Structures are given as structure tokens and as C-alpha cells.
Amino acid sequence: MTSDLFGDYIAVLIAAILGFVLVGGALIANLILSPRQPTRTKGVTYECGMLTIGRTRTQLHFRYYLFAILFLIFDIEAVFLFPWAVTFLEIGKQAFWEMIAFIAILGFGLAYAWKKGVLRWR
């Protein structure tokens, strides 16, 4: 059983080596063969043909990140609620209480964030 277990990996090994050789070969060939004539205009950031405004690097407020995390609560809730709703009748009472417990845990997280003032946009 196991001699096969590792025998099968030969194919993976060959594919991996081949992949590295092909990609590496293409990159190196490009490096050697391509003509290079850099000018200032060529180095400018390209955005739909318009001139870019300001610097490329801007700071985003940390708040967005917290909102994204909070969104995750509802996301996960939806992901689990749909399959739950489909099999709800087969399983019965237990499913109901388990989902109540699950939502209570998620609600705890939301209440925590709310009280900590994460939802206030200042």
C-alpha cells in the first residue's frame, strides 16, 4: 500500500521540477533577450491613461479594518444559517438550541464591539 504512496509522488516531483524550470527559463530568457530603453515617461504610473494624482501610497484608517472584522460576524452567521435551515426539520429541537447558542456567541462578540465604541464613526 505504501510503496505506491510514495511512488505516486514521482509525478508531483517531475511536475514541480518542470514548473520551476519553465518559469525560471522564461524569466531568465526575458532578462537576457529583451531590449531595454528606459525613459522617464515609461516609468510613470499608468492609470487609464490619466495622470495620477498624489502619491501611490495612502494611509487607510484603521477603522475600516474593524468594520471588516465585524462584517465577518454576519458573514459566518449566514454561512451556517443556510445549511441549518435546510436540515432543520430532520434534526428537530437540538438544532434549534444549538443555533441559539451559536447566535448568542456571535451576538456576544457584536455587543462587545458595540459597547467598546467600534461602531461609532468619528
Partner 1 sequence: MLWPAMTQLNFQWELLAPEFILVGWAGALVLLDLFWGSSAGLRTGRIGKEPLGYLAAAGAVAAALVSLFWIGDHKNFADLIDVNNYTTLFRVFFGLTAAFACIASARYVKDRLLHPGEYYALILLSVVGANGMAAASELLTAYISLELLSFSLYVLASYDKFDLRSNEGGLKYMLLGAFSSAIFLYGISLVYGVTGSTHFNAIGEVLKGDTSDIDMALLLGLALMIGGLGFKVAAVPFHMWTPDAYEGAPLPITALISALSKSAGFALFLKLFTQAFLPLIDDWRYFIAALSVATMALGNLVAIQQQNLKRLLAYSSIGQVGYLLMGIAALSPESASALVLHMIGYVVTNLAVFVCIIIYYNWTGKEEIKDYAGTAERAPFLALCLSIALFSLAGMPLFAGFATKFILFQSAAQEDLLWLAGVAVFFSFVSLYYYLLIVKEMYLGEPAERTRFPTPWLEYGALSLLVAGVMFVGLYPQPVYDAVEDSTATIFAAVEDSAAVSERP
Nearer to partner 1, 30 or 87 (CB): 87
User: Alpha-carbon distance 86 to 29, whole Å?
Assistant: 56
Nearer to partner 1, 18 or 105 (CB): 105
Nearest approach, Cβ of residue 5 and partner 1 (Å): 6
Nearer to partner 1, 20 or 108 (CB): 108
Nearer to partner 1, 96 or 108 (CB): 108
Interaction site with partner 1 (CB under 8 A): 1-3, 5-6, 90-91, 108, 112, 115-116
Nearest approach, Cβ of residue 81 and partner 1 (Å): 18
Number of H helices, E strands in the chain: 5, 0
- Residue 53 — φ and ψ, nearest 5°? -110, 135
Nearest approach, Cβ of residue 1 and partner 1 (Å): 6
Sign of the CA dihedral 55, 57, 63, 66? Answer: positive
3-state secondary structure of 55: coil
3-state secondary structure of 59: coil
Nearest approach, Cβ of residue 106 and partner 1 (Å): 13
